[in-house]
């Protein structure tokens, strides 16, 4: 099969934003004498912002109202500090370099809003490495619906069946497969603790599977 495009998730796939997000909320809960479990948090991984309300979960656990502004002021610096230490994940740049050499189009398909994704891509020096970036605002429904992947394929002029999607979460994998794409799951520190099913291929890191090896496998 000739591959026309590569479509990447952003959070947790290009850069591990998921660990800082979960850990900063977990620490915030501990400050209030409560525990946030990964099982509770996993419902929102790969989905649109606001899918769950951590403040409401904390209020339910503690039985008292939470000052949301105060909590935000405490959590945000911790989140930013942890996020600042996160590099582009291994193998991502090599894949982009390889795609450019082979004239394979590339896209980002993220359930997060553009105001989050675009500045991060620019800061990482990757904004000009993608032919298109599709975010929450660009599709009727976020993952696990297939809309974002289909929007990316349409923008690239590629058939979904000739696209490879790279995802780190159960919701993302489900969205990619619903879009009809070959899906490579690349779990991160958070999502490898979750049950990810349905991917065509699962690897610990994109660095473990060079683009040339993946394309050869698909051609066979």
For residue 24, give every residue at least 6 positions away whose Cβ sits within 8 Å of its Cβ, in sequence order, or none.
Answer: 75, 76, 78, 79, 82
DSSP string of 141-156, one letter each residue: S-TTSSHHHHHHHHHH
Q: Which residues contact 73 (CB under 8 A, 6 or more apart)?
A: none
Q: How far apart are the first and last CA of the chain?
A: 8
9 is catalytic: yes
Q: Which of 9, 16, 21, 168 is catalytic?
A: 9
Hey, how many other C-beta atoms are within 10 angstroms of the C-beta on 205? 13
Residue 144 CA, chain-centre distance (Å), reads 12
Residue 177 to residue 171: CA distance in whole angstroms: 10
Query: Looking at 11, 16, 131, 147, which residue is catalytic?
Result: 11
- 140: tokens are 């009727």
Say whether 11 is catalytic. yes
> Which are the catalytic amino acids?
9, 11
């Amino acid at each position: 099969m000739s591959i026309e495009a590569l479509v990447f998730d952003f959070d947790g796939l290009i850069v591990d934003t998921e660990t800082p997000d979960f850990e900063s909320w977990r620490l915030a809960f501990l400050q209030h004498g409560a525990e946030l479990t990964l099982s509770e948090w996993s419902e929102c991984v790969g989905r649109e912002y606001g899918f769950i309300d951590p403040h409401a979960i904390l209020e339910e656990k503690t039985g008292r109202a939470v000052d949301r502004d105060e909590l935000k002021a405490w959590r945000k610096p911790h989140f930013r500090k942890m996020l600042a230490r996160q590099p582009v994940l291994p193998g991502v740049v090599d894949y982009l370099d390889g795609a450019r050499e082979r004239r394979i189009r590339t896209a980002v398909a993220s359930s997060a809003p553009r105001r989050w994704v675009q500045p991060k891509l620019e800061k990482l020096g990757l904004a000009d490495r993608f032919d298109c970036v599709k975010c929450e605002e660009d599709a009727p429904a976020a993952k696990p619906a297939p809309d974002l992947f289909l929007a990316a394929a349409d923008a690239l002029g590629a058939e979904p069946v000739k696209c490879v999607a790279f995802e780190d979460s159960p919701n993302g994998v489900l969205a990619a497969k619903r879009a009809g794409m070959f899906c490579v799951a690349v779990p991160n520190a958070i999502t490898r603790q979750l049950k990810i099913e349905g991917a065509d291929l699962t690897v610990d890191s994109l660095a473990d599977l060079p683009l040339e090896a993946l394309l050869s496998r698909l051609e066979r």
